Amino acid sequence: MSRTADWCQDSLHYVFDYETPKTLVIPHFGVGCVFRLTQLLVVLYVVGYVCVVQKAYQETDSVISSVTTKVKGFAFTNTSDMDPLFWDVADYVIPPQGDHSFFVLTNMVMTSKQMQTRCPELPGPSTTCVDDCDCTVGLSDPRGSGIQTGLCVNYSSTVQTCEVLSWCPLEIDTKLPERALLAAAENFTVLIKNSITYPKFKFHRRNILPHINSSYLKRCEFSHSTDPDCPIFRLKHIVSEAGEDFQDVALKGGVIGIIIDWSCDLDFWAGKCYPKYSFHRLDDKHPVRNVAPGYNFRFAKYYKTPDGEDTRTLIKAYGIRFDVIVFGTAGKFGIVPTIVNLGAALSFLSLVPMVCDWFMLTCTKKRDLYSRHKITHLSDDAEAESMSMGTTYGTQ
């Protein structure tokens, strides 16, 4: 045989000889029990906790969502401050287009017929004056209402304040009605249409479920107990589910989250994917550690007078902003997470023999016998002996 052939054969041997550990079988019932029991525990953990409870064999994906909302209802107000007014959706829903976030006006401070002109400041520690020297031309105090003209004028018969350039008359927002103007808003309803997608799984769904027909939709109203699938919500119900009183929130405004949870198990044997609604107040209602509690903003309606001059109606709008927040994670059987989790569990199975060996070599009566058969201590004597035995030993 040539050298190359030799080398080849050696390599082949190296590649295709199978090396397997020598083992010792011990017919001890106790040790066997410990062995099978620990194995069982690991398997139970994997099957029970990882697979059934945590569903770790699943791939996950996050939801993407689109929401449209439509409020219905009208109200009639008749207070001493204002003319009797009829309010419909176009008047009290801002912005009007029914996005995932919509605002329902419930209270307001309205300042009509404002024009760009001059008027005395609202009285306050930094705005009252005795004569023109107390006012500075061009001063614009961030806490004030406009640019000072340098004049000190009569605010009322008793008080003098600096004159400002501003939209006049100035808004007096301390006169907030004590009862919400649109208290009737509690009976308004909102229809929420929500369509979601899990792009990784190409899964689409709408919150109007297949078994719902349009006659049901015309009369239903959401309730956790009786109508959990109805997408029409009474505003009062939303606010009370969030743990608040509607009239309280309506007075100063607030932000309520309508939370739609689309957590889904998309495996065919589970096959359930329904929206779950919950409601939370999102702003901080406690007046402590809070600037500007409640929720309000200012907007204006602009007009031209017959002479072509600009005039506006400034509205400080208090109300409830409803934020529809959609979240969710879908899980579906995936080969990679399954492999990873099984692999990790297998690693723990490889710990089982260590536990059993320890038990066998310390807790059984015949531990010396087992130890002698299992473990060969290569002592110096053995080395000397084996040396003399020569090279045939290996293939004995």
The answer to whether 222 and 208 have CB atoms below 8 angstroms apart is no
Contacts of 258 (CB under 8 A, 6+ apart): 192, 233, 238, 277, 279, 322, 323, 324, 325
The answer to whether 331 and 264 have CB atoms below 8 angstroms apart is yes
Contacts of 281 (CB under 8 A, 6+ apart): 242, 243, 244, 249, 254, 255, 256, 257
The answer to whether 126 and 145 have CB atoms below 8 angstroms apart is no
* x/- track of binding to a second copy for residues 201-220 (CB under 8 A): -----x-x-x-xxx--xx--
Smallest gap, in angstroms, from Cβ of residue 169 to a second copy? 13
Region of 128-136, 150-158, 240-248, 347-355 interacting with a second copy (CB under 8 A)? 347-355
- Per rule CB under 8 A, is residue 373 in the interface with a second copy? yes
The answer to whether 334 and 57 have CB atoms below 8 angstroms apart is yes
Region of 96-104, 121-129, 172-180, 240-248 interacting with a second copy (CB under 8 A)? 96-104
- Per rule CB under 8 A, is residue 7 in the interface with a second copy? no
Q: Which of 247, 280, 285, 355 contacts a second copy by CB under 8 A?
A: 280
- Per rule CB under 8 A, is residue 237 in the interface with a second copy? no
Q: In whole angstroms, what is the distance from residue 355 CA to residue 359 CA?
A: 6
Q: Which of 169, 164, 171, 167 is nearest to 150 (CA)?
A: 164
- Per rule CB under 8 A, is residue 388 in the interface with a second copy? no
* 3 state SS of 94: strand
- Per rule CB under 8 A, is residue 299 in the interface with a second copy? yes
Q: Which of 226, 292, 362, 365 contacts a second copy by CB under 8 A?
A: 292
Work out the widest C-alpha separation in the chain, in whole angstroms: 127
- Per rule CB under 8 A, is residue 228 in the interface with a second copy? no
Using CB under 8 A, count the residues that bind a second copy. 151
| C-beta neighbour count of 61 within 10 angstroms | 19
Q: Which of 11, 116, 126, 136 contacts a second copy by CB under 8 A?
A: 116
Contacts of 1 (CB under 8 A, 6+ apart): 9
The answer to whether 73 and 189 have CB atoms below 8 angstroms apart is yes
- Per rule CB under 8 A, is residue 119 in the interface with a second copy? no
Q: Which of 125, 130, 268, 381 contacts a second copy by CB under 8 A?
A: 381
Alpha-carbon distances, residue 230 vs 86, 101, 215, 223, 328 (angstroms): 29, 19, 12, 8, 19
Smallest gap, in angstroms, from Cβ of residue 273 to a second copy? 16
- Per rule CB under 8 A, is residue 367 in the interface with a second copy? no
Q: Which of 228, 300, 363, 367 contacts a second copy by CB under 8 A?
A: 300
| C-beta neighbour count of 87 within 10 angstroms | 18
Which amino acid is residue 90, in one-letter code?
A
In the range 142-181, which residues lie near a second copy by CB under 8 A? 142, 145-147, 165-167
Smallest gap, in angstroms, from Cβ of residue 132 to a second copy? 20
- Per rule CB under 8 A, is residue 126 in the interface with a second copy? no
* x/- track of binding to a second copy for residues 31-60 (CB under 8 A): xxx-xx--------x---xx---x-x----
Token pair recorded at residue 366: 């015949």
Smallest gap, in angstroms, from Cβ of residue 130 to a second copy? 25
Smallest gap, in angstroms, from Cβ of residue 324 to a second copy? 11
- Per rule CB under 8 A, is residue 125 in the interface with a second copy? no
In the range 301-340, which residues lie near a second copy by CB under 8 A? 301-306, 311-312, 314, 317, 321, 323, 325, 327, 335-336, 339-340
